[in-house]
């Protein structure tokens, strides 16, 4: 690790976890971007930030590979540097904190990564760079961000591109009273960062609106720009949308399907109120979706042709799976070249998909893109009917689910040998194994014509099938979690918990659900998560029960990154 000449304030960016992070990396045998070993250490916000596999989702639109020279500014513990090097790029990683630079050197050991400790503002390099990554750094550029951007632009080779990721000062989360990410107070960014709200360490922290950031990039000579919107933000994105996504005729439903709840409440503090999914739908309908995204990812260059070489302009959006085991991480890339298509791929191509456990399998992607089934899914329909207070409408949605499930159901005796968590032994109504994924969010079509409803995205398969009644309880519980996680208005008291609401939905089903209880579902779901994610049954059951006790009323209670509740909920994101 080399040092850049001028000393820097090593403590400015520290969160107190640096020694632990470096120790984990030092002892690890697998430091790769998809490392299950590193992910197993996630138990709070810092470890989630440094070891969560969702961090590198942000770089999927960027074309990195052999022959590409990359500068990673503010490299932190080397997450993005490692990913770029794994794609074949040559990387220079600059980090202003000595402990984090040490962690980056440990993470990237053995790869073509040159870690340098110091300020990127003092970096000189005669070779220049094809791509400069400025991820979560511009906000710390001090009193003169234009000078900083000009310096980074000056490090680009001819044909090079600057990649900037930053929070949107006017992002939806901040209008919904989420704490500003750096100052930890609601509305201070929107208010223009009043000095009275800042500390000495945060006095010059600034984020920007889209027009302001675009103009600053143009001022650095980077007049060609391609904008992406990561959700819930750029730090741990589960979806990345292009501007074109917001211009689609069905943008309201499409964006809602891809994003879901637009705020990550597992880590954002603040007394956030309102039905955030409904609000986001209205923002998109009003044509302000791209302007009010929580974060921006911008690829900027001097010429338009550079954008085509350095970034993906063909995709409409990307949707990523949760933080599963490495072998089960997937990305869905959606394109729209006249016909909308969806291509499902492993994120880590060296890993085979296949079997997750003795009873659970992840179906291998077909290798070719499929047509994207347009229209609202049944979860979206159910949420709209709840907002209208239309219980009979919700009953109709659940009746459609029951009809779709029943058309593939068989009655049979399940032996002890073939039984598994989602297929108990005994006399059962059994659905095909892929119906484990038969949730309302995976059904698209008219509620009033169940025969036309299509089952999409059947990713997981359970050996021998799944019990229909347990699948029904799972569908109802998932709908209840969608209600609470997005703050959906509903006709019951706001204190109605996920578990209680799921029971209400079960009562609306046209058939009688037999033995499975909500508690039975928690145990079965925990077993599924052990296979797909890792960990142990007891921990997952405890987490699921904690979620089951949540309600819409709980969402207005502010908490910081390190609160016990937020740590528990963060673990569920894994």
| pLDDT tens per residue, range 209-231 | 999 999 999 999 999 999 999 99
> What is the distance between the alpha carbons of residues 509 and 503, in angstroms, rounded to a whole number?
10
**What's residue 211's pLDDT?**
98
Query: Which one, of 312, 318, 345, lies nearest residue 334 by Cα?
Result: 318
**pLDDT number for residue 368:** 77
pLDDT at 511: 86
- Distance, in Å, from the CA atom of 175 to the CA atom of 282, rounded to the nearest integer, reads 14
In this structure, are residues 323 and 52 in contact, taking their beta carbons and an 8 Å threshold? yes
For residue 513, what is the enclosing H or E element? Answer: none
Q: What is the DSSP string of 53-112?
A: GGGGGGGTTB---TT-EEEEET-TTSHHHHHHHHTT-EEEEEESSHHHHHHHHHHTTTSS
Task: Answer whether residue 9 shows pLDDT above 90.
Answer: no
Q: Which two tokens stand for residue 331?
A: 């990305």
What is residue 377's three-state secondary structure? strand
Distance of alpha carbon 281 from alpha carbon 277, whole angstroms: 6
Whether the bond into 557 is cis, omega within 30 of 0: no
With residue 487 as reference, give the H or E element that holds it: none
User: What CA–CA distance (Å, rounded) separates 402 from 380?
Assistant: 17
**Please, which pLDDT band fits residue 354 given cuts at 50, 70 and 90?**
very low
SS3 content of the chain, % helix, strand, coil (to 5): 40, 20, 40
Nearest to 357 by CA among 526, 520, 481, 215: 526
Among 84-88, 262-266, 503-507, the least confident range: 262-266
pLDDT of 11 over the 60 cut: no
What confidence category does residue 567 fall into, taking pLDDT thresholds of 50, 70 and 90? very low
User: What's the pLDDT score for residue 311?
Assistant: 97
240 class by beta-carbon count within 10 Å (0-12 exposed, 13-18 middle, 19+ buried): buried
Q: Which has the closest alpha carbon to 553: 493, 492, 494? A: 494
Rounded to an integer, what distance in angstroms lies between the CA atom of residue 277 and that of residue 449? 26
Lay out the sheet containing 426-431: strands in order across.
410-414, 426-431, 466-467
Tokens encoding 356:
């997750």
**Cβ pair 402, 416 in contact under 8 A:** no
Dihedral (C-alpha) 452, 458, 462, 465: value to the nearest 10 degrees? 10
Looking at the chain, the whole-number percentage of residues with pLDDT higher than 70 is 91
The 10s digit of each residue's pLDDT in 146-160 is: 999 999 999 999 999
Report residue 298: phi and psi, to 5°.
Answer: -125, 130
3-state secondary structure of 565: helix
Helices (H), 321-417: 378-387, 391-406
Handedness of CA 163, 169, 174, 180 (dihedral sign): positive
Is residue 409 classed as helix, strand or coil in its secondary structure?
A: coil
Q: Is the pLDDT of residue 315 over 60?
A: yes
**Collapsing DSSP states into helix, strand and coil, what is residue 7?**
coil
330-336 and 340-346 strand pairing: antiparallel
What residues are paired with 497 via a beta bridge?
551
3-class SS of residue 306: helix
Q: Which residues of 80-115 are buried (b: 16+ CB within 10 A; e: fewer)?
A: bbbbbbbbebbbbbbbbbbbbbbbbbbbbeebebeb
Q: 3-state DSSP call for residue 235?
A: coil
Identify the helix (H) or strand (E) that includes residue 430: strand 426-431
What are residue 309's phi and psi, to 5 degrees? Answer: -80, -35
Domain boundaries, the chain: 378-572
Mean pLDDT score, 338-345: 93
**Is 70 exceeded by the pLDDT of residue 355?**
no
Tell me how long the chain is.
Answer: 574
For all residues of the chain together, what is the average pLDDT?
A: 91
Position 59 scores a pLDDT of 98
Cα(32)–Cα(82) distance, rounded to whole angstroms?
Answer: 7
pLDDT band, very low/low/confident/very high, at 306 (cuts 50, 70, 90)? very high
User: End-to-end distance of the chain based on CA atoms, in angstroms?
Assistant: 32
For 423-453, b/e burial (b = at least 16 CB within 10 A) is bbeeebbbbbbbbbbbbbbbbbbebeebeeb
| Cβ atoms 139, 205 nearer than 8 A | yes
pLDDT value of residue 364: 76
CA 129, distance to chain mean position in Å, is 29
Residue 358 has pLDDT above 70, yes or no: yes
- Lowest-confidence region among 10-19, 288-297, 388-397, 452-461: 10-19
Which of these, 278, 282, 166, lies nearest to 228 by C-alpha position?
Answer: 166
Residue 268: pLDDT above 90? no
* Phi, psi for 461 (deg, rounded to 5): -140, 130
> Is there a contact between 256 and 166 (Cβ–Cβ < 8 Å)?
no
């Amino acid at each position: 690790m080399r040092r850049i000449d001028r000393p820097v304030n090593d403590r400015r960016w520290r969160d107190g976890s640096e020694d632990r992070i470096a120790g984990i990396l030092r002892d690890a045998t697998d430091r790769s971007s998809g490392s299950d070993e590193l992910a197993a250490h996630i138990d709070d916000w810092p470890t989630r930030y440094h070891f969560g596999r969702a961090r590198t989702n942000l770089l999927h639109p960027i074309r990195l590979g052999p022959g590409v020279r990359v500068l990673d500014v503010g490299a932190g513990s080397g997450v993005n540097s490692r990913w770029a090097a794994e794609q074949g790029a040559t990387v220079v990683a600059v980090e202003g904190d000595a402990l984090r630079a040490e962690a980056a050197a440990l993470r990237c050991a053995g790869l073509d990564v040159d870690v340098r400790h110091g300020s990127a503002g003092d970096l000189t390099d005669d070779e220049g760079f094809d791509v400069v990554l400025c991820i979560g750094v511009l906000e710390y550029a001090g009193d003169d961000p234009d000078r900083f951007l000009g310096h980074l632009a000056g490090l680009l080779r001819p044909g090079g591109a600057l990649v900037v990721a930053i929070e949107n000062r006017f992002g939806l989360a901040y209008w919904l009273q989420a704490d500003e990410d750096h100052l930890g107070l609601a509305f201070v960014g929107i208010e223009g960062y009043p000095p009275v709200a800042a500390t000495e360490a945060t006095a010059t922290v600034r984020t920007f609106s889209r027009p302001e950031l675009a103009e600053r990039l143009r001022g650095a000579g980077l007049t060609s720009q391609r904008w992406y919107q990561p959700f819930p933000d750029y730090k741990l994105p589960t979806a990345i949308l292009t501007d074109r996504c917001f211009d689609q005729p069905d943008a309201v439903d499409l964006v809602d399907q891809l994003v879901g709840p637009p705020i990550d409440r597992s880590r954002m503090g603040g007394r956030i109120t309102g039905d955030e999914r409904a609000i986001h739908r209205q923002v998109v309908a009003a044509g302000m979706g791209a302007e009010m995204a929580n974060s921006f990812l911008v690829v900027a260059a001097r010429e338009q042709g550079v954008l085509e070489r350095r970034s993906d302009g063909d995709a409409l959006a990307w949707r990523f799976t949760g933080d599963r085991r490495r072998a089960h991480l997937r990305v869905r890339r959606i394109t729209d070249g006249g016909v909308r298509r969806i291509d499902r791929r492993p994120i880590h191509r060296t890993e085979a998909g296949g079997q997750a456990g003795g009873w659970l399998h992840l179906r291998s992607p077909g290798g070719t893109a499929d047509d994207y089934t347009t229209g609202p899914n049944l979860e979206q329909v159910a949420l709209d009917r709840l907002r209208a207070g239309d219980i009979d409408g919700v009953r109709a949605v659940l009746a459609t689910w029951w009809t779709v499930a029943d058309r593939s159901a068989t009655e049979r005796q399940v032996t002890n040998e073939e039984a598994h968590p989602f297929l108990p032994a005994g006399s059962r109504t059994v659905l095909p194994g892929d119906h484990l994924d038969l949730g309302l969010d995976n059904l698209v079509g008219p509620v009033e014509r169940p025969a036309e409803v299509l089952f999409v995205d059947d990713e997981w398969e359970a050996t021998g099938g799944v019990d229909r009644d347990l699948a029904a309880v799972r569908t109802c519980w998932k709908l209840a979690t969608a209600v609470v996680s997005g703050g959906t208005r509903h006709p019951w008291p706001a204190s109605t918990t996920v578990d209680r609401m799921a029971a209400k939905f079960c009562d609306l089903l046209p058939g009688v659900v037999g033995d499975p209880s909500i508690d039975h579902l928690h145990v079965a779901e925990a077993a599924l998560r052990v296979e797909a994610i890792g960990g142990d049954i007891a921990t997952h059951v405890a987490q699921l029960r904690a979620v089951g006790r949540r309600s819409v009323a709980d969402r207005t209670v502010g908490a910081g990154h390190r609160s016990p509740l937020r740590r528990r909920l963060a673990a569920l994101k894994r």
